[in-house]
Amino acid sequence: MPDDPLDSNTLARLKEFSLTHPLVRNLMVSADGRHTLITATVPSEPQSADAQRALRGEIDTVLEPFRAEGLRFTVLALPLVEEEVRRTLGADLRRFVPAALGLLLAILWLAFRSWRLLLLVLITVFAVFWCSSFPPVVHFGLLSAAAFLGGLGGVLVFLPAGLCRWPTR
């Protein structure tokens, strides 16, 4: 953006150029002159989530005075798409994970109708999720994971059988 405002003569020449030049008209500026493509180049692509958020903030800060005048902007850039997906995914997870857990508890309660079995299944489910990120399983590979899950499978088979034989009161 120029530091000084453009005079009316320069603006008229720029408008004429944008609406008549074959490489600009219908590519960067619509035929009626109401829509345009603005390209911006950043020195380096932001890699971290914080850098992407900072880039989004800088762009919004630059565009805010124009938005205040009633102009509309659609910003599209890969780092901003990543930031948007990360933000909306976080919001969706905060909303849907508790709902999914509640539904899971309701279905398990309807299936087992026993607090002991419900607790056993929940412990098993959380153990499997925890073990998928358990450092020895991750770092020692498939053989270690198979041995661990084999042991867990034995617990899953024999422990419920033992629980079912417990007397209920």
The gap from C-alpha 148 to its chain's centroid, in whole angstroms, comes to 32
What is d(CA 139, CA 114) in angstroms, rounded to the nearest whole number?
Answer: 37
Instruction: State if pTM tops 0.85.
Output: no
Judged on CB neighbours under 10 Å (0-12, 13-18, 19+), 160 is middle
Instruction: List the chain pLDDT tens, one digit each, 169 residues.
Output: 556 777 888 888 888 888 888 888 887 888 887 888 777 777 777 778 888 888 888 888 988 998 898 888 888 777 778 888 888 888 888 888 889 888 888 887 887 787 877 787 777 777 766 666 655 555 555 555 666 666 666 666 666 665 555 555 5
pLDDT value at residue 68: 92
